[in-house]
A and B are shown apart, each in its own frame.
Chain A
Amino acid sequence: MASSSRTQVLSLYRMLIKESKKFPSYNYRTYALRRVKDGFRENLAVDNPKTLDVLLNQARESLAVIKRQVTIGQFYTTQKNVVEGLRNVNF
Chain B
Amino acid sequence: MISTTVTRKLLGSMCGFQTPRLTYAQSAATAILRDKEIIKSRELEKEELRPLYMDFQATTPMDPRVLDAMLPYQVNYYGNPHSRTHAYGWESESGMEKARKQVADLIAADPREIIFTSGATESNNMAIKGVARFYKAKKKHIITTQTEHKCVLDSCRVLETEGFDVTYLPVKTTGLIDLQMLEEAIRPDTGLVSIMTINNEIGVKQPMKEIGQLCRSKNVFLHTDAAQAFGKIPIDVADWKVDLMSISGHKIYGPKGVGALYVRRRPRVRMEPLQNGGGQERGLRSGTVPTPLAVGLGAACEIAQLDMEYDHKRVTMLANRLIQKIMSDLPDVFLNGDPDQGYAGCVNLSFAYVEGESLLMALKDVALSSGSACTSASLEPSYVLRAIGADEDLAHSSIRFGIGRFTTEDEVDYTAEKCIHQVKRLREMSPLWEMVQEGIDLKSIKWTQH
CB <8 Å contact, A81 and B50: yes
Instruction: Let me know if A28 and B406 touch, CB within 8 A.
Output: yes
B406 surroundings in chain A (CB, below 8 A): 27-28, 30-31
Are A65 and B51 in contact, with the CB atoms below 8 A? no
Shortest distance from the beta carbon of A14 to any chain B beta carbon, whole Å = 20
In the complex, whether B46 has a CB less than 8 A from a CB of chain A is yes
Find out whether the CB atom of A27 lies under 8 angstroms from the CB atom of B47. Answer: no
B408 touches A79 (CB 8 A): no
Cβ contact within 8 Å between A69 and B64: yes
Question: A91 contacts B421, CB within 8 Å?
Answer: yes
Q: Does A45 contact B (CB under 8 A)?
A: no
Main SS class of interface, B: mixed
Q: B408, A82: Cβ atoms under 8 Å?
A: no
Q: Which chain B residues border A89 with CB–CB below 8 Å?
A: 414, 417-418
Q: Given that A68-B68, A91-B421 are contacting pairs, would A83 and B48 also be in contact in the complex, using a CB cutoff of 8 Å?
A: no
**A73, B71: Cα distance in complex, Å:** 13
Evaluate contact between B46 and A79: CB separation under 8 angstroms: yes
- Interface: B61 (CB within 8 A): yes
Residues of B within 8 A of A82 (CB): 49-52, 365-366, 414
Interface string of A18-40 (1 = CB under 8 A from B): 00000100111011100100100
In the bound complex, CA of A1 to CA of B408 (Å): 34
Give the residues from 410 to 432 in chain B that come closer than 8 angstroms, CB to CB, to chain A.
410-411, 414, 417-418, 421-422
Classify chain B: how many residues form its interface, as a range: 20 to 34
**Measured between alpha carbons, how far is A74 from B67 in the docked complex, in Å?**
14
Q: Does A66 contact B (CB under 8 A)?
A: yes
B351 on the A face (CB < 8 A): no
Q: Tell whether B77 is near chain A: CB-to-CB under 8 Å.
A: no
Residues of B within 8 Å of A79, CB to CB, are: 44, 46-50
Q: In the complex, what residues of A have CB within 8 A of residue B51's CB?
A: 81-82
Cβ B408 vs Cβ A27 within 8 A: yes
Residues in B with CB closer than 8 Å to A65 are 64-65, 68
Name A58-91 residues within 8 Å CB distance of B.
65-66, 68-69, 72-73, 78-84, 87, 89, 91
Is B405 among interface residues, defined by CB-CB distance under 8 A? yes
B65, A81: Cβ atoms closer than 8 Å: no
Is B447 an interface residue, CB under 8 A from the partner? no
Residues A83 and B64 in contact in the complex (CB < 8 Å), given A27-B406, A30-B408, A38-B310: no
**Complex-state Cα separation, A72 to B65, whole angstroms:** 12
Is residue B116 within 8 Å, beta carbon to beta carbon, of the partner chain? no
A-B contact pairs, 5 of them (CB 8 A): A28-B406, A38-B310, A66-B64, A89-B418, A91-B422
